[in-house]
Structure 1
């Protein structure tokens, strides 16, 4: 395929995922051209509107109806005669549906490198991403280079990138630039309008079509600090739904969206527009408010492309769909019913920030895994949903240290098996068969990209295709020499190659390898991972990385990987030796602080960044700052200004996953 899209604003580097994986931006353009986005959802070309789910059907029935299409493989000789009994295989390469995660830009660019778990698992487990913070207004203006580097890296892996967010009216979280916060404090409405409108234009045009869609305003039902600077006491901060101006139906909100639509249209961009907010699943109050917000934007600004449902799932003790500590632990069918509330507003629906936080009320991590299963099945079965994005996947880089898939030491949580078991196994098509008397084999396949192969007694041919039509049939014709009727598959798959150690901790080893291939006709089925010759786990055929856990500190192990095909043929086992770290693997300090300057004037803004210097197998879990003037802060980046001259000791205290703590200090001189 040849993409019509040219990189509009970053470096122009290749946007192809390594190997045979499809460039998803290009792929979704193909789908748009074929007019099949109503079935898929998806990005790039504007999708058809969503539709409510038919709740009279089961979860599996809806998945079969909306997420699979019929594939007809026709094998023939060069003269057009059919080849009966030819061996055929259909092997999925990627999904059409968006399975995504939030990415921490600082960890990606400054605290990881090629081969690290963080960089390896992102393209291995996901096809869609969103930056957790660095596209937010203040972050972006202060650290645009970091945001650009992270965005480019994700694009270079062939991943889609969503824009989060143009405007977020929440104070205290580095979302609002300092001068805009000053304008809010002074109720300088014109500055707020001018700066926000210009920022919307700047960030959309800067990335162009490298960003598939933008949330223009985030959480307007709950955080509306910018609007307070414009409307003042017209907004009732105690009961915002009762004021003269209601934030989610204000003229300013409509103006923001109208301006974003104008910027996109004027610049000829193919970029979606979305809303995003939280509490839609468990709480009752959000139903009418969010629907009112959506209708207000649709009627007074622009037809939305996406309605975002954050889906931060908490285990609480109150009744579901109430306003008193409601419990988010619901069935897949309940998930579908809730999504139906948002599926008839002319926009596609996305699950944008799934996680299972609020740990005190969860009974176990298995219960959290069960909830991922319920929400993921419910969303995937809903015809109006095109994305399921989790808000980080690793505890050490999660806003509450409660990510779905991995603990701090990269050992797998029960939810990891749910995610990989559904995305790369149950919802992954990998079949082998023989053609019938008419030279045809017909099957059902999940929407996505495929490699199709046919083999006779004297020839073999392969091709690729994209299955896009859930309502029709995709026909693939393969021309080969010879005739069918060959022997049963007794050919073992190739041995996995380039087995390597990605990382080690004092209790785990993460390994990765290049995918095996199978030419015997039965198709690759799974991998067997062994430790010192004994089977430890199996890994789905679509995966090429895993973490072996439960190991002893300072010990050496032989890790093996073997490929197994659908006929049970086994490849030779390839092995690598790995040694876990000792219990104490830290350096002098876990993290160093890096100021923009160590000498400044009173009132001058100094920025502080962090360099991760922790040892192999260690992960920083918290960062606490003191600035020597009584001010404190947390996090990977901070800015500070001093009110009086003098020498100030800035201290950064870091804690890692093993509970070790170090402090790095330096002196700032203010004149």
Structure 2
């Protein structure tokens, strides 16, 4: 069922997702339980005595959860007015990013200076970065000379490992994780020649060159298509098991999210729970929802964000682009070409920078203490004219002059 076929008045998201309140209530309870922790402030005077009745302001500066987007590297570094707005929108809305195309193998070999400059821009602005992708093993996504090596498996094997060595070494210290292998269900030309076991060698090679980035297997149609693509789901699950059983250093599960129709939240929770059996972090790596119905798009975005944020194994959620002017599916963007916000952008702001962000104030008690249950992340705490940085969960002590 493609949503664009139906007019907005004929398609009620709450009806599709019934019983909506049941899953939403459970999700909100999980968010309260797993995404918040105790942040305690202790205020004392210069003589060490508790400072009672002091006003304390608590303001989150950065979320522990990853809220990200795909970014076009060359455009990010451009000098146009739109590039400046693009950079500003990234800084205003995201704490994580992934280069949409610039780190893919063919693009990397044509131009490595652009992605390296973009990665350094992210680092200088405190933005965490995913690497996408080391090996996308289908001819369509590989340098042309790989196909010419089809009759020489050993030369092909060396070519792939040389690429991994080159790119991982060049980006060392700049990335939080890598999609080590991307979409092997539909892109398996290299695997048909080298064998599936070669994937484990790719993971090992990447880990040996840089032990810091978490290595992910990434694929699509796990949550999409109404949850009906069970063949794709089974292959993804079995591939993860295959790699782990062979000792591959798989550190995370990348689940895309290129939607054209609604998948019921109960079904998505069931799928996420199944992949949680691996006890690995799950990242929603590539979300967009392509539809002409902007209200439906916003409603589904709200529900999908809520569902994912409520799941204990999910630790990051990345949009696959945000601006219509630089989006592979322009209808999936959150900001129009003229930079005006769409309803799904308002949902993002309402949740990520509103409901799921802690900014509060209170007064210290007789022991000079003030505690708040806050969303996990980094904070600025102000009391008695002093401002300090803190992390939730945690205890911070402020000494007044």
- Normalising by the residue count of structure 2, what TM-score does the alignment of the two structures yield? 0.88
Matches within 5 A, 1:239-638: 250-264=196-210, 269-281=211-223, 282=227, 283-315=229-261, 328-331=262-265, 333-357=266-290, 359=291, 364-455=293-384, 460-467=385-392, 469=393, 474-480=394-400
3-state SS in 2 of match to 1:116: helix
Shift in alpha-carbon separation, 1:347–1:194, aligned structure 2, 3 A = same
Shift of 1:115: 7.0
CA contact (8 A) 1:131 1:164 kept: yes
Whole-Å Cα distance in 2 between the matches of residues 404 and 344 of structure 1?
A: 33
Shift in alpha-carbon separation, 1:479–1:342, aligned structure 2, 3 A = same
CA contact (8 A) 2:75 2:83 kept: no
3-state SS in 2 of match to 1:341: helix
The structure in which a higher percent of residues are helix is 2
Residue 146 (1) aligns with residue 79 (2): no
The one-character-per-residue Cα deviations of 1:159-191 (angstroms, maximum 9, x if unpaired) are 11111011112334xx3112113223xx33222
Q: Which has the higher contact order (CA 8 A, sep 6+)?
A: 2
The structure in which a higher percent of residues are strand is 1
Which runs of no fewer than 5 residues in structure 2 stay unpaired?
Answer: 1-22
3-state SS in 1 of match to 2:48: coil
Whole-Å Cα distance in 1 between the matches of residues 333 and 263 of structure 2?
A: 15
Aligned CA-pair RMSD: 2.0
Shift of 1:476: 2.0
Whole-Å Cα distance in 2 between the matches of residues 405 and 193 of structure 1?
A: 41
3-state SS in 2 of match to 1:165: strand
- Normalising by the residue count of structure 1, what TM-score does the alignment of the two structures yield? 0.54
3-state SS in 2 of match to 1:465: strand
Residue 121 (1) aligns with residue 89 (2): yes
Larger radius of gyration, structure 1 or 2? 1
How many residues of Structure 1 are paired with residues of Structure 2 in the alignment?
A: 375
Which residue pairs with 1:180 in the alignment? 146
Whole-Å Cα distance in 1 between the matches of residues 133 and 159 of structure 2?
A: 15
Whole-Å Cα distance in 1 between the matches of residues 44 and 208 of structure 2?
A: 52
Residue 192 (1) aligns with residue 156 (2): yes
Whole-Å Cα distance in 2 between the matches of residues 108 and 475 of structure 1?
A: 38
CA contact (8 A) 2:27 2:310 kept: yes
Whole-Å Cα distance in 2 between the matches of residues 152 and 403 of structure 1?
A: 28
3-state SS in 1 of match to 2:138: coil
Whole-Å Cα distance in 2 between the matches of residues 115 and 196 of structure 1?
A: 34
Whole-Å Cα distance in 2 between the matches of residues 77 and 150 of structure 1?
A: 46
Shift of 1:56: 11
Whole-Å Cα distance in 1 between the matches of residues 315 and 100 of structure 2?
A: 20
